[in-house]
Amino acid sequence: MPEYYPIYLQLEKRLCVVIGGGKIAEGKLPELLAAGAAVRLIAPSLTGKLRALAENGEITYIPRSYRPGDLEGAFMVISATDQAEINQQVWQEAQSRQQLVNVVDDTPHCNFIAPSILRQGDLAIAISTAGNAPALAVRLRERLEREIGPHYAHFLRLAGRLRAPLAEHISDFETRKAIWYRLVDSDVLALLEQGDETSALQRISEIAGFQFQADLG
């Protein structure tokens, strides 16, 4: 089997069709919605959580089984049913349309796989086992979650505010690059983990070489 090429997709307002209304489909929707995807869910019945999403207008729900032609216009397709015949039909239609398609827990019928994801603000770490042992990916994510807390998201918010003024004060790319590594390797993350933003900002200012103020709102 060829190796997978890891990427992050921009799904904002892109149509993603999910086939199936059970617990497996339920587990797939949060990441799609968080990415801003326009989700169309096709299933004869739904779990309570999925029904709530449909009733709240967060997804478009078609209350029936999949039919050929349902994937028209989709950017991504996820088939999350326990019916092999339907999964096969979804795979074939998606392939004919050259769409991204994942038949859950059926790697040969996937042209992409969904990793286990750890998120802290703008930090996203994707862990994949190429479909061989998704449970291992989950356990690795849980281990990382114990080490990578909300202070990483805080650091990235500050870093986002620092980029423009740092470029204004220091035009040389190599110098800026060195400063970024000094910041990452410094005690700024530890100070943020302790909740001491004042000291963290002071330390950033010392390393950057100018007074840095960050209004995060």
* Contact between 42 and 65 (Cβ < 8 Å): yes
pLDDT at residue 48 in the model? 96
* Contact between 29 and 18 (Cβ < 8 Å): yes
pLDDT at residue 115 in the model? 87
pLDDT at residue 134 in the model? 87
Least Cα distance to 78 among 3, 11, 139 occurs for: 11
pLDDT at residue 4 in the model? 85
State which residues of the chain have pLDDT below 50. none
pLDDT at residue 3 in the model? 81
pLDDT at residue 114 in the model? 86
Contacts of 107 (CB under 8 A, 6+ apart): 1, 113, 130, 131
* Contact between 16 and 39 (Cβ < 8 Å): yes
pTM for the whole thing?
Answer: 0.78
pLDDT at residue 216 in the model? 62
Helix count (H) and strand count (E) of the chain?
Answer: 8, 7
pLDDT at residue 167 in the model? 95
- Pairwise CA distance, residues 149 & 189, whole Å: 10
pLDDT at residue 2 in the model? 67
Sheet-wide strand order for 38-42? 60-62, 38-42, 15-19, 76-79, 100-103
